[in-house]
Amino acid sequence: MHLDVQDLRNFYYRSTLGRAVQKTLRAQVAEFWPEAQGQTVVGYGFAVPFLRPYLADARRVIGLMPAPQGVIGWPQGMPNISVLCEETFWPVETGHVDKLLVVHGLETSEQPGAVLEECWRVLGPGGSALFIVPNRAGLWSRSDRTPFGFGRPYSQTQLESQLKSQNFLPERHATALYQPPSERPFWRKTAGMWERMGGKLSVVVSGGVLMVEATKRVQAPSGPGLRDKVRKPLSVLNPQPEAKPV
């Protein structure tokens, strides 16, 4: 079940905890994608808080928001780039996306396989998709005070297996949000320390979210006809017998 877009907006833009999450995850996304010069960047779900760094240099930035969630205008004070869409029918041309960020879009969907099919369709050759989902072993998936406490949490194995089943090839992964999901001043003041310590002790301490970057895997065509063409690629230059009149 999708969260309401107003709840997501209030969390990320109007709460201390949400702004801390935005800062932490935006820095992690930048580790995967330092720049997007001249590229098409698309976010699906509620990914707009993490797309702002690419507005200046990307050729195009689009924020897709599923109909069950709702849509808000974004970015504020600038021409709107947010689009309301169906979960499995995005208004994006096939193979035209260079970078695709999925946040609050996979774990809350009742048809994640179909969502991944649409992700695969729009992603272009050489492009990459970054999926951010709640970590099943983390504290954030156990608290319904944040958006990461809703929907279906994943383990890294589960997420990568689902990506592989939809013809994605996982390339890199990371975890984030080691700080507790609390508004208390002590945890807010020490959030940076927890993130630094968590990155070093990730084997012992579980982060609140999983981040997996994947590329598009294209199956090579097969069949006897293809093998014959490959074996004799210049046969088309051979003289062909002339047709005899009937």
Q: Residue 101's closest CA among 150, 56, 41?
A: 41
Q: Check residues 190 and 151 and name the one with the higher pLDDT.
A: 151
C-beta pairs of 65-74 under 8 Å, 24+ apart in sequence: 65/5, 66/2, 66/105, 66/109, 68/1, 68/2, 69/2, 69/3, 69/4, 69/5, 69/8, 69/45, 69/104, 69/108, 70/4, 70/5, 70/6, 71/5, 72/5, 72/6, 72/9, 74/48
Number of H helices, E strands in the chain: 7, 7
Beta-carbon contacts of residue 108 (< 8 Å; ≥ 6 apart):
1, 2, 3, 45, 69, 150, 151, 152
Q: b/e string for 149-186 if b means 16 or more Cβ within 10 A?
A: bbbebbebeebbebbeebebebeeebbbbbbbbeeeee
Q: What pLDDT is stored for residue 229 in this prediction?
A: 46
The pLDDT tens digits for 10-47 are 999 999 999 999 999 999 999 999 999 999 999 999 99
Q: Check if the beta carbon of residue 136 is closer than 8 Å to that of residue 187.
A: no
**Higher-pLDDT residue of 242, 45:** 45
What domains does the chain contain, in order, with CATH numbers? 3-184+201-217 (3.40.50.150)
Give the chain's mean pLDDT.
Answer: 86
User: What is the residue whose two structure tokens read 């700080």?
Assistant: 179
Largest CA distance in the chain: 94
The answer to which of 1-5, 136-140, 144-148, 233-237 has the lowest mean pLDDT is: 233-237
pLDDT at 189 over 50: yes
Q: Could you report the per-residue pLDDT of 55-85, keeping only the tens digit for each?
A: 999 999 999 999 999 999 999 889 999 999 9
Half-sphere exposure of 229 (CA within 13 A, CB side): 7
Please compute the mean of the pLDDT values over residues 118-126 and round it to a whole number: 95
Which tops the pLDDT comparison, 106 or 185?
Answer: 106
